[in-house]
């Protein structure tokens, strides 16, 4: 199965006859891992080539970053203009989504909060930003439930704080690499 929905578990899909699941966004490694488990292949890691060093840019210089921007830029190769454009778009779209999330929180517009979390979640999964994935996935999962603002408020605040931290990191990364 292939899905972007966070509320669907692999176990529930397997009960309905599926052999596994890829959650969007996914990488080449995710596809190979899934199929290797199903048809029992022994795939060597070196057949996957992303054009990057095996050490992610998020761990460059011995510093652990909140997001792995190399996953966002993998397919640009050495094209600095394309990489700069993609990162610039990420920064602006994330800032816009952060503003929507903040304003929706102030207005207690739960449906907009859940919709915005749903919109943001796949990208933060791609970036392997667990600090953002956790609160965004929680908020997405609350859609359609009657738990309301009181249960969601701590996760809204955590999402705002953590997404803002990744946004600051993206701006710094952009400045260091593309200005």
Residue 1 is predicted with a pLDDT of 76
pLDDT in tens, 53-80: 334 444 444 456 789 998 888 888 889 9
CA-to-CA separations, 2 to 7, 36, 88, 131, in angstroms, rounded: 13, 16, 29, 24
Do 136 and 119 form a contact (C-beta atoms < 8 A)? no
pTM: 0.67
pLDDT at 52 over 70: no
């Amino acid at each position: 199965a292939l899905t972007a929905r966070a509320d669907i578990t692999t176990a529930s899909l397997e009960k309905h006859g599926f052999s596994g699941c890829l959650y969007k966004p996914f990488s080449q490694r995710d596809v190979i891992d899934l199929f290797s488990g199903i048809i029992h292949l022994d795939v060597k890691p070196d057949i996957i080539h992303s054009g990057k060093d095996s050490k992610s840019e998020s761990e460059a210089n011995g510093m652990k970053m909140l997001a792995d921007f190399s996953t966002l830029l993998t397919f640009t190769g050495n094209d600095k203009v394309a990489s700069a454009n993609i990162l610039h778009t990420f920064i602006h779209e994330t800032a816009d989504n952060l503003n929507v999330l903040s304003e929706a929180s102030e207005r207690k517009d739960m449906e907009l909060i859940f919709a915005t979390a749903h919109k943001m979640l796949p990208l933060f999964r791609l970036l392997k930003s667990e600090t953002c994935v956790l609160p965004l996935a929680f908020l997405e999962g609350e859609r359609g439930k009657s738990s309301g603002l009181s249960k969601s408020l701590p996760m809204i605040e955590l999402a705002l704080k953590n997404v803002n931290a990744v946004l600051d990191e993206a701006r710094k990364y952009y400045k260091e690499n593309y200005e």
